[in-house]
């Protein structure tokens, strides 16, 4: 899968929990949340638009930062 990097305006644990919830609901994703830097890294076969729409369901400001090369 391609690893995608998103900015999500998360300020607290509740915000990251909301992100976790919507991504689990979507399914087919592996993700890491970097709360201090307001970043979400997602491995998925879903396209970027689907992932971004899903992140926006949290009510947070979200944007796509680009592909992250796998380490």
Helix (H) or strand (E) holding 50: helix 48-56
Say which residues have a Cβ less than 8 Å from residue 24's Cβ, sequence separation at least 6. Answer: none
User: Structural domain boundaries of the chain?
Assistant: 3-68
Is 3-68 a domain of CATH 3.30.70.100? yes
* pTM over cut 0.95: no
**pLDDT (tens digit, 9 = 90+) per residue, 13-56?**
999 999 999 999 999 999 999 999 999 999 999 999 999 999 99
Helix (H, G, I), strand (E, B) or coil at 40: strand
Nearest Cα to 34, choosing from 25, 22, 42? 42
- With contact defined as beta carbons under 8 Å apart, do 43 and 36 qualify? no
């Amino acid at each position: 899968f391609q690893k995608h990097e998103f900015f999500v305006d998360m300020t607290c644990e509740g915000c990251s929990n909301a992100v976790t919830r919507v991504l689990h609901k979507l399914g087919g994703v592996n993700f890491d949340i970097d709360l201090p830097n307001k970043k979400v890294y997602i491995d998925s076969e879903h396209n970027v638009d689907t992932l971004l729409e899903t992140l926006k369901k949290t009510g947070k400001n979200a944007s796509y930062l680009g592909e992250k090369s796998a380490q």
